[in-house]
Amino acid sequence: MSTAFKRMQAVKQHLSPEQEHANAVDPVVSMNEERAKAGFDIRAMTILMDGGEKNTILKEKIMQELERDPLFKMDDIHDISKDELRERTMEKFRSMLYHLQNESVDTFKKRMEIVSLIDPGFWTRFGVHYGLFVGALQSNATPGQLGYWFQKGAISLNGFIGCFAMTELGHGSNVPGLETTATFDEASDQFIIHTPTLTATKWWIGGAAHSATHAAVFAQLIVRGKRYGTKCFVVPLRDPKTYNTLPGINIGDIGKKMGRDGIDNGWIQFTSVCIPRSYMLQKHTKVSRTGDVIEPKLQQLTYGALLQGRVTMVADSGHFSKKALSIAIRYAAVRRQFSSSSSNIETKLLDYPIHQRRLMPLLSQTFAMLFTGTEMTEMYNLMMTRLEGAKEGDSDLDEVIEILKETHSTSAGLKAFCTWNCLDTIEACRQACGGHGYSSYTGLAAMYQDFAVQCTWEGDNTILTLQLGRYLISSYREAINGKKLSPGVGYLNKLDQLIGKRCSVKNLEDILSPEVITEGWEVVCANVVRNASLEFEACLKKGMQPDDAYEECSQSRLYAAKLHSFGYLFNRFADGVAKVSGNLYDILIKVCLLYGLYSIEENAGAFLQYEYFSPAQIEFIRTSVNNLCKDVREQAIPLVDSFNLTDYMINSPLGRKDGNVYVHYFDQVKRSNPQGEHPYFDKLIKPLITREVGYDDDEDEEAGLEEEDEDEDED
């Protein structure tokens, strides 16, 4: 028990009953009480989760700069129109350009990570150019081409704004099926970019409607009538001096969206638009002046750079979840509802076991995603380091390709798993705030609308989960042929030990161990992957082609991939906690066990089906989840404080750090909706209620009571 908590208890002993009641229901006092319960060093937890004190200090510096920047004013964001929002979003470019040109790459990445939590729409609009367009150049251009486009203004944004034109009206996840064509005209040494059908119209293109001067267009390469697959071409769209569209370019606005309206998504059609041959980005596939096509021998090595977005979204899911939970948990710590028969003081929402059940497992899941996001980022960086130097004939080429395959599949599965989890978390937090959660000013509705797109962009979540399932089946087949697998699927090398294995603990309390939980997930995952693989093999024996067989067992693939992701997330969390000591370990091991046991409870059917746990053990796990929810609840506010998000970052009166939610909420409502003359009384209401209806005004004196009066007289 902390010194601050003891001091508060001592003060309470000298209060009158009236003063004690007033103190008890004061939200600021309630929040201070919660904060005084801290059983760990909050600052040390922040530094741990940020990856070091240097990162924490940098993050705080950036948060303060953004809060003081008038271009990043956010308190009125819920009351402005789409056009006003787009204009304000574009205005922020000026501020970001300064930092882009004066900060290191790592510092600017941290700045953009923070910006994404404050204003996802701006983050997207800025990221379309610097993340997607420039990223396409870096991934697909030769060194000479990269230098050319940078010199043209791609980095400085001088007379140049790029967009990323991959998605079409009729095609999204199926990139090889894109219809836009790029046909090489040998006579003019040009490519002709063309939209042959309505469904080939480029769609959802961020920045296209009003901003972009150039597009990275993905189109089918056609040379001498032969198709060579989807390649990337830089196509000018507008004259940068007049912003008039260029000949053959037709652009429109796709209008209001579910969220992120700060970005001007548009559609593009190309009608026989000619571009120089050099505007095809030829780092990998090359087309010569005479129409010779040279394709890379190691095509798979070109895919690595495309994974960055997925990896980022795993970490983003943790960051957005902690923002949502900061709001819901802080509100639950001060909101009181109903009182027990023994007290006239209403109970905090956070003290109700059912409310703990709503939020504490999500808090544990968020920590799991944060730990996993860190490891996923490290895995991606390691992979890119290896890929940059990889070439045909290298002695370690097979190992590099295996790392690429694992990173590709793991990032696909985790992107889907974590973004789904985050979206569910935001909605659960909104509902946990009751009626006030429905207000735009509490921030959760807009957060849901802004985050929902993460479940479909950079790959539809179901498709990505199936990709992981396909990798798991492939890994299983390799394992039974004796191949040693990468660590993420290493459990498939132990099939003979795991199939049929049961939990062997002598005492139920021994289940409360990361090792037991890890083994349980390995057993269940080995079984479901095996079942999916056997189903796949049965389809092949029926004469199906491999692709058809994979589709036939898609439900089993999806199920296997989801359970694998549960286990993977827990293992990364447990690995991270094992490296911690002291009072940080004491609280994190409880949070980790809560996530592990809750995820087992949520998938109890699989653990019972494969008989790793008995019904009695599952019942013990349910009870343990209840107990751990209570334990974590006691540290909920300190844990949320360790996220180190300022009130400006959270931008919600219900998530204010001081707990004074009602004052802040009421002030925001009054400030955002000033009282004045009635906006439509004379036009609409007055004509409605003053119309002639044919009754005597004298009847108003009785107001319907005349019959009741007559009844009383008769009595």
- Give catalytic residue positions: 458
Considering only CA atoms, which of 249, 237, 211, 239 is closest in space to residue 127?
211
Q: Which residues of 17-51 are buried (b: 16+ CB within 10 A; e: fewer)?
A: eeeeeebbeebebbbbbbbbbbebebeebbbbbbe
Strands 181-185 and 226-236, how do they pair?
Answer: unpaired
Give the span between the Cα atoms of 640 and 643, in whole angstroms. 5
Considering only CA atoms, which of 643, 644, 660 is closest in space to residue 652?
660
Give the span between the Cα atoms of 620 and 70, in whole angstroms. 54
What SS3 string covers 605-674? HHHHHCCCCCHHHHHHHHHHHHHHHHHHHHCHHHHHHCCCCCHHHHCCHHHCCCCCHHHHHHHHHHHHCC
| Contact criterion met (CB below 8 Å) for 163 and 198 | no
Q: How does DSSP assign 55-70, residue by residue?
A: HHHHHHHHHHHHHH-G
Return the DSSP state at 77.
G
Q: Residue 321, Cα to own-chain centre: how many angstroms?
A: 8
| Contact criterion met (CB below 8 Å) for 386 and 403 | yes
Q: Please count the other Cβ atoms lying within 10 Å of the Cβ belonging to residue 506.
A: 6
Q: Please count the other Cβ atoms lying within 10 Å of the Cβ belonging to residue 708.
A: 9
Dig out the tokens for 403 from the structure.
């790392």
Q: Residue 311, Cα to own-chain centre: how many angstroms?
A: 10
Q: How many CA atoms lie within 13 A of 93 on its CB side?
A: 22
Dig out the tokens for 273 from the structure.
């638009």
Residue type, 484: K
| Contact criterion met (CB below 8 Å) for 113 and 59 | no
Question: Is 214 strand, coil or helix?
Answer: strand
Considering only CA atoms, which of 207, 218, 89, 98 is closest in space to residue 166?
218
Residue in this structure with the two tokens 């980790």, named with its chain if needed: 592
Residue type, 662: Y
Q: Alpha carbon of 592 to those of 326, 415, 484: distances in Å?
A: 19, 21, 29
Give the span between the Cα atoms of 362 and 598, in whole angstroms. 10
Q: Nearest 5°: phi and psi at 276? A: -60, 150
Q: Nearest 5°: phi and psi at 324? A: -65, -45
Residue 316 neighbours by CB under 8 Å, 6+ apart? 116, 373, 419, 422, 454
| Contact criterion met (CB below 8 Å) for 305 and 135 | yes
Provide the phi-psi class of 247: left if phi over 0, else alpha when psi is between -120 and 50, else beta: beta
Provide the phi-psi class of 80: left if phi over 0, else alpha when psi is between -120 and 50, else beta: beta
Give the span between the Cα atoms of 132 and 175, in whole angstroms. 16
Considering only CA atoms, which of 141, 184, 181 is closest in space to residue 291?
184
